[in-house]
Amino acid sequence: MGAAVMESTLDANLPVIDHSALEAIVDIFGVDDAGAILDLLDTFLTESAKQLDDIQTSFAGGDWVKLHRMAHSLKSSSATFGAMRLSQASAALEAAAKGQCADQLCPELIRVVGREHQAACDILRGERARLAAA
């Protein structure tokens, strides 16, 4: 039942990446400063992977405070880069962690966060390559 409940809480209509968020970052820095945009993407790709590792380690150790904090951080940073499904999954994990995973959904939520993280990073790596080649 947990997996079905979890999948139903995610909006299947959300794109893996909302390209308007990436366009907003490009607008802020301008196309002339591609290096800054590439640095931001590199930072997200590296730091989000660390956050995902920290989420898994925190859950395994029962560190609910750190799990909550890491899910919150991943929720926010992924939204900045337009990874809306990842952000939504992270928000669900954040809420569950706040309740110390009493609803037993955390293992499934962590699996979904990991899946959405992979999907988002695959697309963002492609966007990074496109920007680097421009």
**Residue that wins the pLDDT comparison between 56 and 5:** 56
Q: 33-51 pLDDT, tens per residue?
A: 888 899 999 999 999 999 9
* CB-side neighbour CA atoms (13 Å) of 113: 31
Q: 71-80 pLDDT, tens per residue?
A: 999 999 999 9
Domains in the chain: boundaries: 15-133
Tokens of 121: 């990073």
Cα(96)–Cα(106) distance, integer angstroms: 7
CATH of domain 15-133: 1.20.120
